[in-house]
Amino acid sequence: MSYPDVELFIAGEWRPAKSLAKLEVLNPATGTALGTVSRAGKEDLDAALKAAESIFDEWKHTSPMLRCQIMRRAAELLRARADTIAEQMSLEQGKPFAQAKGETSAGADIIDWFAEEGRRAYGRVIPAREPDVTQLTIKEAIGPVAAFTPWNFPINQVVRKLSAALASGCSIIVKGPEETPASPAALVGCFADAGVPAGVVNLVYGDPAEISSYLIPHPVIRKVSFTGSTPVGKLLAGLAGQHMKPATMELGGHAPVLVFDDADVDDAVSVLAASKFRNAGQVCVSPTRFMIQSSVSEQFIDKFVRKAESIKVGPASDAASEMGPLANERRIPALEHMIADAVGQGATLRTGGKRIGNEGWFFEPTVLTDVPVQTEIMNEEPFGPIVAINTFSNDDEAIAEANRLSFGLAAYAWTRSSSRSQRLQHEIQSGMISINHIGLSLPEVPFGGIGDSGIGTEGGADALEAYLQTRFVTRKG
């Protein structure tokens, strides 16, 4: 299929950057150019800010029912266009078509969830101490939002922020990912065609540092939402804090996996391998640090290695592909360095470890065992198809390792013991823990981390609160 040259969406219109500057978009399966995306400059950002500010009051006072209806139409358009959008996403991001379509369809479910939740964003009456006093809390949209999204899930990461903002009555400027611009643009097109007023949704691309440093301090922006790495998130959260602006931060992780001796090993291997190598491991909640109880470790490792070796790696154009390329060429030397560092310090490379071919950015599913705790991969998020497997003797040892790092996004465990599960859910320091299955990322459940993995949540009812402010009213008589 043909790939579009992506433009900016500002004040209800698709338009090139004022400077006509563009960035090249590459196909990760071939390394060749796909198309271009417009590169926003200060004039473009000013236009987006003006549009978001001018429409905010109107959208804020639009009835929640009407906002819901418009958003539900956008969800239906997204479903109707899912095949075309998934094809574009596969080209620009590399994930197989089935995964891209699944992400697109899930995006429609997220829109529906927030559309309905926005109808329930109301305050409450607080019983007063005197009979002629009324006390109320009022929930209202916080203001225009600046949202910054990454390339690994081009629809998912935009649609959560966009839907929460619109459902709460906020206008928004989305800084989309330059590596994967077409699918977010198609998503925004669904909202525009559904009848969202001009200026409520604005989409820009360009230099991340330039755009964030201009938008976040700007007086029009009242709320910041960012998904990305922990170091960048800390910088942006600090910048938002200087201007007293609330910030939702969904940052990096380094998810521990605990498999106990009473686990269903076959189920654990099947589910964890599918999760680990989904999107070539470029997932913030990807299971990474595996800890297997000693008595079942050989059984688990042998089966997991065979599973990794059976994964069909190839371009999205091949319907048999189960794992596509890395989205960025720069990830290849980073992964190679992590593997060399681990092996150099005593780890065993069980399978994988290399780039596949010379065209595109494919990398072998990789399994390391007996990985020393001081190695890079045991302390830094690999964001690729690499698993580090170690063993443990008892529950205390496993929990201590799970909690060793300052990250706290996702954690996983397999055990048939109810009492152990109860202990894990209380003692594992993670924003999310999934036991005996992978149950994260649904629209109705929280999605967020603690510690260095972020602030706030982007799923479930709690996500809407970040886009609302509470005012208290008391009157007598």
Q: What is the pLDDT of residues 177-216, one digit of tens each?
A: 999 999 999 999 999 999 999 999 999 999 999 999 999 9
Homologous superfamily (CATH) for 8-251+453-476 = Aldehyde Dehydrogenase; Chain A, domain 1 (3.40.605.10)
Q: What is the mean pLDDT of residues 442-469?
A: 95
Q: Report the Cα–Cα distance between both ends of the chain, in Å, rounded.
A: 68
Give the three-class secondary structure for 56: helix
| Nearest CA among 182, 244, 124 for reference residue 4 | 182
Q: What is the pLDDT of residues 29-50, one digit of tens each?
A: 999 999 999 999 999 999 999 9
DSSP letter for 185, please.
H
In this structure, what token pair is assigned to residue 385? 């198809």
- CA 271 → CA 109, 274, 276, 285, 436, distances in Å? 23, 5, 9, 14, 9
Q: What is the mean pLDDT of residues 317-329?
A: 95
DSSP letter for 428, please.
S
Residue 138, strand partner residues: 471
- CA 269 → CA 257, 274, 344, 382, 391, distances in Å? 11, 8, 27, 20, 15
| Nearest CA among 62, 269, 80 for reference residue 170 | 62
Q: What is the pLDDT of residues 62-82, one digit of tens each?
A: 999 999 999 999 999 999 999
Residue 241 has pLDDT above 80, yes or no: yes
HSE toward the beta carbon, residue 158, CA cutoff 13 A: 32
Give the three-class secondary structure for 30: coil
Domain ranges of the chain: 8-251+453-476, 255-442
In this structure, what token pair is assigned to residue 219? 């007086």
Q: What distance in Å separates the CA atoms of residue 322 and residue 149, rounded to the nearest whole number?
A: 25
In this structure, what token pair is assigned to residue 433? 């823990």
| Nearest CA among 195, 218, 215, 220 for reference residue 203 | 215
The predicted structure's pLDDT at residue 459: 93
Return the axis-axis angle of helices 82-93 and 97-117, rounded to nearest 10°: 120
Residue 248, strand partner residues: 225
Active site residues per annotation: 250, 284
Q: What is the pLDDT of residues 261-308, one digit of tens each?
A: 999 999 999 999 999 999 999 999 999 999 999 999 999 999 999 999
The predicted structure's pLDDT at residue 2: 85
Homologous superfamily (CATH) for 255-442 = Aldehyde Dehydrogenase; Chain A, domain 2 (3.40.309.10)
Q: What percent of the chain has pLDDT over 90?
A: 99
